[in-house]
Structure 1
Amino acid sequence: MAKTEKNTIAQSDRLLVIACGMIAREVLAIKDQLGLDHLELTCLPAEFHFHPDRIAPAMDKAIEKARLEGYRNIFVGYGDCGTGGLLDRVLEMHGVERMAGPHCFAFYQGMEAYAKVADGDMMSFYMTDFLCRQFDAFFMKPLGLDRHPELIQDYFGNYERLIYLAQTDDPELDRVAEKAAALLGLAYERRATGYGDLAAGMSRATAHA
């Protein structure tokens, strides 16, 4: 688990963000934008997106390791992310807070905005900048769609739309999302979310550190 470069701030005064690998680039971008020099980042594997049962035990170990290394201030860059409350039990045990919301698709949009669209999005497949960059590695190859395109209907037949939640304005990622929607046979929608509540959550966490 790689950490950002250290500076002269004492380890005990730093804020360690333990995040999903799917949002690592975004956490570091926010760090640079807000000048959060005392923030460090370590990530759990992005593939846990497909294995939510692994998140809580891995987070437990990551927090224990961080405490042994001298970190007093820790913030978790996850929603519940399919753990069914198990992540919150671990965090409560350690006295650590996380991003509010069920998953990154919610806090990227902002929880208030997400609450208004959640019911209408039930049949939608979300993509983010990360998932656009990793579409082949995260979907095409693991699901075998590159070899067996006939499986697309089995996996995505119940979806109606592909909604690209765009953290940045990148035409290349737009093209990936549009092509993915066409490949999967879904209507396409792009929502420019930026970093949503992630920036505010990190800012609050650093203020309390």
Structure 2
Amino acid sequence: MRAHGLAGQRAVVYLVLDRSGSMRGYFKDGTVQHLADQALALSARLDTSGTVPVVFFSTDIDGTAEIELDHHTGRIEELHGSLGHMGRTNYHTAVNAVIEHYKASGTTDPAFVIFQTDGAPTAKTAAEKALCEAAGLPLFWQFLAFGDPEAKGFDFLRKLDTSPALAVPEKRAVDNTGFFHAGLDPRTVADAELYGEILKKFPGWLAAREQG
């Protein structure tokens, strides 16, 4: 954590997982489980609880759970298999679910939300509105894309920092999002590279919040 300027920093790590129909292969081949293991490892450095709250979303919230260091092997496949139909890609439902969980948790630590998806939000305006409303809360949203890096569907995520609908400070009090594309086979991204990429903007966001 020292290399990222996060020595001594505490944060709750959330994992948001896309269950739209196009994600089927990534659940089946263990890619999503691999990401969950990486999220747990990060949580072990930032949060002493040893658990990561997980939100599965598609058209709506498909399910919520927690994964733990002493019970994580095969856990994502188990949970995914129990959730039924895979739908569309409504980011805003997941954003709102994380906010609700965070507020109910009673924690005073900030949250680092790993938001995994393989496509654009089905409801773009709703996604923008949810992220703007969340900007006043101690929640940082790190989007992590799976799939073809050239796909036009990722334009929404590529343009988070420059979108007029998400402009800072007109629409958001602070830039509360980051984006990293992990490619067609995210398992080939080394752990050190993944953490380096997803944590790039987190220290700056923490500093901006401290400065008000």
Give the TM-score normalised by structure 1. Answer: 0.41
More helix by share: 1
Q: State the structure with more CA Rg.
A: 1
Q: Normalised by the size of structure 2, how large is the TM-score?
A: 0.41
